[in-house]
Structure 1
């Protein structure tokens, strides 16, 4: 026998996430004494202190508590997965799924993935979030996202990943720029030109690394945190930019044309991967999304991964 219950785990997770016994009790529709007793029982079952409870300062987790929190979330998710699929012997996928995506990838990668997933698994309640790579990582670590699409750069080892394809950085210019008619450009040819820098990681990091590797320093005129604002400024002739993701149409939101040129010599490609928490085995709904992502982007020029993800049973 385990010596603890799912209800106790649920109370502990609620306390950890809400930061206090009172807030957890309100969310669970239980008395504070019931929630406190459940956490006490869990600490007794594990023979270790999980929380530090301080009056007027809420609840903090011990190192053991942080470990148990991660495992408890996984167990509770597995239990819900079992409940949802027991009656139909694991047939039609059900449940909920939260997917994240780095913002500049979302319009082309996430939209395609959601469209195919909801068609294939209509009973799954799918939600999504698009934001910076840091925000996506934080939500994955916090348990509010099941999986995410991200550039596979500087990702922590606690995230498992399946590589989907390699993206190629390119130089983007206004269509009437004097260099726009060339078949390609070196970084040296644009280093003295004004740059519009997409100033969010990993885009900023990748751009600056490329120039540093070439022994160059770009002349940054404007910094933006929005992909389309970057392209609009470029289209108006205010500078060039280096972007990895490219829309199908070579115009800005204002309808002004841009030209996308390869960087010569070829620079390092940027891998795009679907990632999920290493410590938590994906639910059936999440595993299906990971597999589908691999299928959809297998036709990309540099798609490489054929690793199969096993769902919880």
Structure 2
């Protein structure tokens, strides 16, 4: 039976993150010889080569090392949580949690979530990583991110996705567009017009699929990976777009105005989900965060769906 210590696990993870013995030793406050010996002993204990030594380039994890590093981060997180809970004797929920967030959700709702969550749980420290879908999923796979608020796009069987909210797609039009005052429109009425495509991994495929499912081909004029750039291009009369998120204001960054109009076509909505890796057991902090976000998004998703109907009414 392997009897490695938390100290050896922490040393291994630190070396994996720092990529050199020298940097890891400095971060851990130990000698390079001590760190190197710990890594050699740890590799012997697990019976695997965990690093590839590259002269002048430091260390790189082997495929086995990547898996062990993922599991080690999970064990260390649980150990830290156990220490916190034991020290507090259950009187408070506290500790650290790294949360990922899809880039478009971050300014529209995630900051609001974090403000409310921090007020409710002041002893939980959240580390935030913002990125597109590929960056978020890579962070989850590596163990760098423990859970992430994102959309149900590109998720494989290795992930567990807990639904938080459902957001229908809608059309974004310049305020003076002929269809801007309508209660709803069909994609067929817009397909020939210039389109500004939200161009992020998995996101672009979702928006294009809405057209393809109806046998339509969009006339793409501009592409942008920036949510607000898409809205501003629309506001300046350069085309229309399709989105699933509605900021509180219909004014863009440069002061131009847009209108959000419902789609009639019954196209597939996006689900906002909280994602974790299936193989990693959820900590108490993760479950606390998940329950809070679900409750928060119940009312928020209703406001997203109802905002345009209130404006039209």
> Normalised by the size of structure 1, how large is the TM-score?
0.90
Contact conserved, 2:66 with 2:142, CA < 8 A, in 1?
no
Structure 1 residues 12 and 126: alpha-carbon distance in aligned structure 2, compared to 1, 3 A threshold? same
1:272, distance to aligned residue in structure 2 (A) = 0.8
- Could you say what the CA RMSD is over the residues aligned between the two structures, in angstroms? 2.0
Mind listing any 5+ residue stretches in structure 1 that lack a counterpart?
303-313
1:275, distance to aligned residue in structure 2 (A) = 1.1
Cα distance between partner residues in 2 of 1:55 and 1:222: 45
Contact conserved, 1:70 with 1:279, CA < 8 A, in 2?
no
Match of 1:310 in 2: none
Q: Give CA-to-partner distance per residue, 1:252-311, whole Å, 9 cap, x none.
A: 223332221111221011111011233322332222111111122234459xxxxxxxxx
Structure with higher helix content? 2
Structure 1 residues 27 and 229: alpha-carbon distance in aligned structure 2, compared to 1, 3 A threshold? same
> Normalised by the size of structure 2, how large is the TM-score?
0.90
1:2, distance to aligned residue in structure 2 (A) = 4.4
1:141, distance to aligned residue in structure 2 (A) = 2.7
Q: Give CA-to-partner distance per residue, 1:91-128, whole Å, 9 cap, x none.
A: 21222222221121112321221122111110122232
Cα distance between partner residues in 2 of 1:14 and 1:81: 18
Match of 1:40 in 2: 40
Match of 2:308 in 1: none
Pair 1:59-2:59 in alignment? yes
Contact conserved, 1:8 with 1:39, CA < 8 A, in 2?
yes
Pair 1:186-2:186 in alignment? yes
Structure 1 residues 127 and 50: alpha-carbon distance in aligned structure 2, compared to 1, 3 A threshold? closer
Pair 1:291-2:291 in alignment? yes
Cα distance between partner residues in 1 of 2:52 and 2:209: 43
> What is the count of residue pairs matched by the alignment?
302
Match of 1:282 in 2: 282
1:195, distance to aligned residue in structure 2 (A) = 0.8
Pair 1:80-2:80 in alignment? yes
Contact conserved, 1:151 with 1:202, CA < 8 A, in 2?
no
Contact conserved, 2:74 with 2:143, CA < 8 A, in 1?
no
Pair 1:30-2:30 in alignment? yes
Match of 2:125 in 1: 125
